[in-house]
Amino acid sequence: MVNLGLQRARHGAALGTAVAIACALAGCDRETNAMPTHGATPSAQETAVIHPEQWPKLSPPVQDSPALNARLEALLASLSIEEKVGQIIQADIGSVTPDDVRKYRLGSVLNGGNSGPHGDDLAPAKKWLELADAFYEASMDTSGSHKAIPIIWGSDAIHGNNNIVGATIFPHNIGLGATRNPELIKRIGEVTAIETRISGQEWTFAPTLAVVQDVRWGRSYESYSEQPEIVHEYASAMVQGLQGEPGSPEFLKGKHVITTAKHFVGDGGTFEGRDQGDNRASEKVLRDIHTAGYTAAINAGAQSVMASFSSWQGAKVHGHKGLLTDVLKDRFGFDGILVGDWNAHGQVDGCSTTNCAATINAGLDMFMAPDGWRALYDNTLAQARSGEIPMARLDDAVRRILRVKLRAGLFEAGKPSSRPLAGQFNLLGAPEHRSVARQAVRESLVLLKNAKHVLPLKPSMNVLVVGDGADNIAKQSGGWSLTWQGTGVTNANFPNGESIYSGIRSAVRAGGGKVTLSANGDVKGKPDVAIVVFGEDPYAEFQGDVDTLEYKPGNKADLALLRKLREANVPVVSVFLSGRPMWVNPELNASDAFVAAWLPGTEGGGVADVLFAKNDGTANHDFKGRLSFAWPRTPEQVTETRGTEAPLFAYGFGLTYRDTGELDALPETVAQRRDVASTREYFSAGRAANGWTIALADGQSRQPLPTGIGATADGALKITAIDRGAQEDARLLNWSGTGSASFIIERNDPIDLQREANGQLSLVFDYRVDTAPAGGVSLGVECHGGANKCASSIQIEDQLQRAPKKEWQQARILLSCFQQGGADMRAITAPIVLSTAGPLQLGIANVRLDTGLQGAVTCQ
Ligand code: BGC
Ligand code: BGC
């Protein structure tokens, strides 16, 4: 692997060869190449206007004593401007040390989904607690006449304290929505708070209060329901469970933590369900549907709110004063901390991740600045000094942060390890916690089909268990489980968890039956029943965005398995794991019973509790789950509220053992699939991926090359097919040295890679240097945002020269390098442009985007 990233991305007048050629051909405006300018005139920020008087006026319940207020004002008045700026910045533990906190007086740290103590996401709870102490002690260090202000650590404990090995992991919110049990939600909040205190954190970034209107969104599973009622009811239950009762001595203290109502507001209503996209709803819909959870959370005393990455009517919420200040703070009376989302301020017009007075002036109180906090600190300090951020606004932000810290008793609490519950690691995954989770699993299961009353099963039966979800705790837990995407972990990483298979095995063994686990469904003899556990593989955020609700359009292996069992006359019970309702008509047809199990978390045993009766046939637990999202009749039916056709199973549907569970055969044909451009893959198996074309350019012209084999008119670049892993799956690019030429993968309609760039994805490809380059070689992207053509590239000749000859290697360049170089990632038309005047002979294969940070390089 060569280091392709040591060069700074270039832009503006210093653009590399690729841009020079692209501009010559496409007529770039050199002046506008530098930084893309966003938005039309007038800007969305100006037209997306809110009418605050039409929003409810709330009075949140927390009353502060005069003593607390006096202490707060005195402390605030004693702070230097540097200390104030430090308070409003939150950095990620992967990019900040206790010494940094001591020096810059940062108000908060967080651990992103992929961060753990000392770079170890799977570090034991003890290490988390030790690190919490180290940050706390740094924040309380008064040397240099600094004021002692306890730091707060925010963590995504979104379904249990899910970042910590051994914690109890509850069903994701979509499953909890099906339970219709607010008492249980409160209990889950209590247990989550306890387990969060054990590892030393005092602030969770939960609950998510999205009211999802399009389940193609990859975060649909973080939503309780598509209907505002459930979200409203659960918001108060969860906030109360996590924080305790306002006014009680244990509020925010002891076994409670600070909550975050997120993502304010409208994250669940973006166009086509696109993560971080644009919510185009009317002000009324934004208020009546998307705000439903916030009014309840604030009335229950929620002490923080996270601003949404998304836009409303084209304007990024992080820059929207009407929503952040006029509605949330003035109308709703919210007096806690309004925290930003992961570098989201960088998406506001005119801002970058390290520079954004606009979001503070719009009402944000704390930047979530995971990796860019250091430069952001300098810029924010300069803006506070110059008055670009008015002192009154800065004071208001700091006052809110100090207020919450005082309310939570942190000034008196001592170091994290000295607080109640801290270090009681035996309580992570304690039996009483697991039994709450197991109840939640039981109550979340929704029975969609039960032909001939195949369920419940008798535990004396001969049971075959199959499917790749059967013995797979990671898969049943989904995203935000130990790792951000929920991938890269095995059952061994869940020491207190139980797989669905393991729960079935216990039930069957206790009932005198026989159980066999088989990966492929092959089994000797004829079982009485087969339980097939299958479904979506874990994902988080944009990585779960899909274009169609059809279950695994490109891979029908699970369906084949169901049909194979059916053909062998084995009754089939399907247990479907998914983060959303999906179009599974063929799978429903091929099953005798079908259970939507969502993402149940670590207590897989809850499934067997319901599927298995006593040996006399009477049920132990009946099905209670009711759909909190309608189940689609077609792959395009993204919610009940869209389209004219009734859904296959309406909101509220769910069979019990008393019902007749027959289901007529359902249509299985899918209307012509939309030809959607692949956003993650550009060249594989010897072909440009769906929606992409290979093109060549020389000094005179640019032409598409559908087969990916051919030459420029002047012969400066010739492409032939070569073999990498399979026949003709790669290309050899041969620059003769007679003139500049480029190899390009392109399309006309731009794709939006903003989210991917912010999520630290890299452009990855395999390459092989046959003849080293003689001159400069640039690697870049092209884009166009409205009228502005733009591009950005890095120089790679040094690295190619150093690479061992004729050996395949992998190149990996952070997408954000191109963003920093000035490319508008929202409008990429060519994710790879390779240019040189030659000579150079370079093999290339498998051009794609990839999440792994392994070997990824920064641009500085
Ligand atoms: C997510 C938030 C999360 C934050 C910290 C963001 O990307 O949108 O929900 O709390 O990261 O991990
Ligand atoms: C997530 C973080 C995560 C990071 C990884 C963000 O969008 O919210 O929690 O660790 O991406 O790149």
The predicted model gives 370-397 an average pLDDT of 98
Share of the chain above pLDDT 90, in %: 79
Position in ligand 2 atom list of the atom nearest CA 851: 12
**H or E, element range at 506:** helix 500-510
* Number of the ligand closest to the Cα of 852: 2
The predicted model gives 743-751 an average pLDDT of 91
Span of 223-227, 493-497, 687-691, 694-698 with lowest mean pLDDT:
687-691
Q: CA 253 to CA 596: how far, in whole Å?
A: 37
Q: CA 609 to CA 622: how far, in whole Å?
A: 9
Position in ligand 1 atom list of the atom nearest CA 205: 10
Confidence (pTM)? 0.83
Which CATH homologous superfamily contains domain 681-851?
Galactose-binding lectin (2.60.120.430)
Ligand 1 centroid–CA 374 distance in Å is: 20
**Which alpha helices (H) appear in 180-337, and where do they start and end?**
182-198, 228-243, 283-285, 292-299, 321
* Number of the ligand closest to the Cα of 267: 1
156 Cβ closer than 6 Å to some ligand 1 atom: yes
**Which listed CATH number (3.20.20.300, 3.40.50.10800, 3.20.20.70, 2.60.40.1220) goes with 52-427?**
3.20.20.300
341 Cβ closer than 6 Å to some ligand 1 atom: yes
* pLDDT tier for residue 7 given thresholds of 50, 70 and 90: very low
pLDDT greater than 80 at residue 642 = no
DSSP bridge pairs for 857: 813
Tokens of 701: 């012209």
DSSP bridge pairs for 793: 10, 780
708 Cβ closer than 6 Å to some ligand 2 atom: no
The predicted model gives 773-785 an average pLDDT of 89
The predicted model gives 292-312 an average pLDDT of 98
pLDDT (0 to 100) of residue 41: 60
Q: Cβ(530)–Cβ(521) under 8 Å? A: yes
Ligand 1 centroid–CA 112 distance in Å is: 7
Ligand 2 centroid–CA 346 distance in Å is: 15
Q: CA 778 to CA 792: how far, in whole Å?
A: 10
* pLDDT tier for residue 408 given thresholds of 50, 70 and 90: very high
112 Cβ closer than 6 Å to some ligand 2 atom: yes
Substitution site in 159, 209, 310, 342 for ligand 1 pocket (most atoms within 8 Å of beta carbon): 342
pLDDT in tens, 463-517: 999 999 999 999 999 999 999 999 999 999 999 999 999 999 999 999 999 999 9
Q: What is the CATH number of domain 445-674?
A: 3.40.50.1700
pLDDT in tens, 352-379: 999 999 999 999 999 999 999 999 999 9
CB atoms within 10 A of CB 351: 18
Q: CA 122 to CA 116: how far, in whole Å?
A: 7
pLDDT in tens, 155-210: 999 999 999 999 999 999 999 999 999 999 999 999 999 999 999 999 999 999 99
Position in ligand 2 atom list of the atom nearest CA 115: 10
342 Cβ closer than 6 Å to some ligand 1 atom: yes
484 Cβ closer than 6 Å to some ligand 2 atom: yes
pLDDT in tens, 803-831: 999 999 999 899 988 988 888 888 899 99
Annotated catalytic, 541? yes
342 Cβ closer than 6 Å to some ligand 2 atom: yes
759 Cβ closer than 6 Å to some ligand 2 atom: yes
92 Cβ closer than 6 Å to some ligand 1 atom: no
Q: Which is catalytic among the residues 267, 541, 640, 746?
A: 541
Q: Which residue, by CA, sits nearest to atom 5 of ligand 1?
A: 112
* Number of the ligand closest to the Cα of 758: 2
Q: Which is catalytic among the residues 195, 341, 468, 636?
A: 341
* Number of the ligand closest to the Cα of 110: 1
Q: Cβ(788)–Cβ(32) under 8 Å? A: yes
pLDDT greater than 90 at residue 678 = no
Ligand 1 centroid–CA 650 distance in Å is: 31
pLDDT (0 to 100) of residue 853: 65
pLDDT greater than 60 at residue 4 = no
113 Cβ closer than 6 Å to some ligand 1 atom: yes
Beta strands 203-204 and 152-155 are parallel
* Number of the ligand closest to the Cα of 368: 1
pLDDT greater than 60 at residue 16 = no
* pLDDT tier for residue 19 given thresholds of 50, 70 and 90: very low
Annotated catalytic, 640? no
Indicate if 681-851 has the same CATH topology as 445-674.
no
Question: What does the mean pLDDT of the chain come to?
Answer: 91
Share of the chain above pLDDT 70, in %: 92
CB atoms within 10 A of CB 67: 9
Ligand 1 centroid–CA 832 distance in Å is: 29
Query: What residue type is 641 in one-letter code?
Result: T
Position in ligand 1 atom list of the atom nearest CA 113: 12
The residue ranges of every structural domain in the chain are 52-427, 445-674, 681-851
pLDDT greater than 80 at residue 604 = yes
Choose among 257, 211, 269: nearest CA to 235: 211
Q: Which residue, by CA, sits nearest to atom 11 of ligand 2?
A: 759
